[in-house]
Amino acid sequence: MTRNNHTTADNRPSEPRADTHSDIASTGQSTANQDDVVTLAHGAGGEAMRSLVDTLAVSRFADGSSADTAGAVGLAALDDGSVHPLPGTDISIVLTTDSHIVTPPTFPGGDIGRLSVAGTVNDLAVMGVTDPLALTCGLVVEEGTPTAELDRFLESMRESAVEAGVDITTGDTKVMGAGELDGIVLNTTGVGTIPTSEVVTGAGLSPGDAIVLSGTVGDHGIALLAEREGFDFGANLESDVAPINGLVAAATDAGRVTAMTDPTRGGLATALNEMAEKAGVGLEIEEQAIPVDDAIASAGEVLGIDPLSVANEGKVVFGVHSDDADSVLAALREQPLGSNAAIIGQVISDHPGRVVLDTGFGNRYLSEPTGEALPRIC
């Protein structure tokens, strides 16, 4: 089979089309049948997915004995990874995993190989591990895939791993029949060590903290959808996929970072809601302060996709002690990947668990997408 047939011509009736989505609130599929079968909405990183994961996995696995160790972060935290303090030391092992599926596997600004390295390096980075120890590579590939294509993706992994300063040290390869898998599934698991006291979680926000965003949002999701749908916007729309562990190190060196997360599936809207919910605080976000590339914003309007609701693959949301917000912002802006960094809001004690968006014309709650805006873009 050919590798580039994943555009509007394909025949996947269950996949929501872009033109059905005019705003965040309507991007979800119905989840009425979520108790019976798994739907694409369950994989989208929003409410439907958290509900499924809560029901099936968290309640089941979260009572493991290691979760009781002081400093440990287990599954119940629903954080970007787990934290394992090593007995008798002040060191913790941090662990995170991500299976990468993206259509098309090569896209403007990157490919599945780069995505698989950046995605996992970034999950470690937002836990505080900016010098990761190793990545694993679990490759599942469709029979008939040209080896030259596989070679390109693995070379892209190598280049991105060098950029992030991490080694790929062990792996596994499986082949599925052409009728069983369309494309490639690439799992990477990352491991790192860190002084236990330096672990950062998504739950560390306190009222008064500044919310700092490392750059523009929406690039990955909207560039991918434009490519998939075959639109030509006359502008270079590119994914932002990049390892951001260096950027995170610059920020944490410059000031007191209280919480971090990377706004991937579900976008900035989901990331902010999760941070607010985990810390039991409110967030007050100024919509005009959120950096969005002009071409991405225009394309998003045509496609009916809100840049705040789609995945980014090279961005970080920081909670920063208010006294240090300016120094962290300055440090970020000195980095090539942080040149568009901005303070976008602050933590408040009102509206716990909610995100209040000041649109310039009034306030509204910023909801997270409940379902599937863009299947399989990360």
For residues 3-32, which are near a second copy according to CB under 8 A? 10-12, 14-15
Binding segment for a second copy (CB under 8 A), chosen from 18-26, 148-156, 303-311, 351-359, is: 148-156
Binding segment for a second copy (CB under 8 A), chosen from 18-26, 186-194, 233-241, 307-315, is: 186-194
Asked if residue 229 binds a second copy (CB under 8 A), the reply is no
**Residue selected from 2, 9, 32, 37 as contacting a second copy according to rule CB under 8 A:** 37
* Apex 317 CA angle, 15 and 21, nearest 5: 25
Identify residues 253-312 at the interface with a second copy (CB under 8 A): none
* Apex 340 CA angle, 156 and 269, nearest 5: 85
Indicate the Cα dihedral angle 192, 86, 254, 337, nearest 10°: 10
Length of the chain (residues): 378
Nearer Cβ to a second copy (43/345): 43
Burial of residue 168 (CB within 10 Å: 0-12, 13-18, 19+) is middle
Whose CA is closest to 41, among 265, 310, 373?
A: 373
Provide, rounded to whole angstroms, the least separation between the CB of residue 60 and a second copy: 5
Provide, rounded to whole angstroms, the least separation between the CB of residue 67 and a second copy: 7
Question: Which amino acid belongs to residue 191?
Answer: V
Q: Is 132 helix (H, G, I), strand (E, B) or coil?
A: coil
Provide, rounded to whole angstroms, the least separation between the CB of residue 275 and a second copy: 18
Identify residues 58-117 at the interface with a second copy (CB under 8 A): 60-61, 64-67, 74-75, 79, 81-82, 84, 86, 89, 91, 93, 95-99, 101
- Provide the edge-to-edge strand list for the sheet that holds 167-176: 82-85, 91-100, 184-195, 134-142, 167-176
Whose CA is closest to 224, among 207, 237, 205, 211?
A: 237
Nearer Cβ to a second copy (120/367): 120
**Residue selected from 2, 4, 70, 147 as contacting a second copy according to rule CB under 8 A:** 147
Nearer Cβ to a second copy (176/249): 176
Nearer Cβ to a second copy (165/352): 165
**Residue selected from 22, 158, 253, 349 as contacting a second copy according to rule CB under 8 A:** 158
Asked if residue 131 binds a second copy (CB under 8 A), the reply is no
Identify residues 160-179 at the interface with a second copy (CB under 8 A): 161, 167-179
φ, ψ dihedrals at 98, nearest 5°: -155, 130
Q: Give dist(CA 154, CA 145) in Å, integer.
A: 13
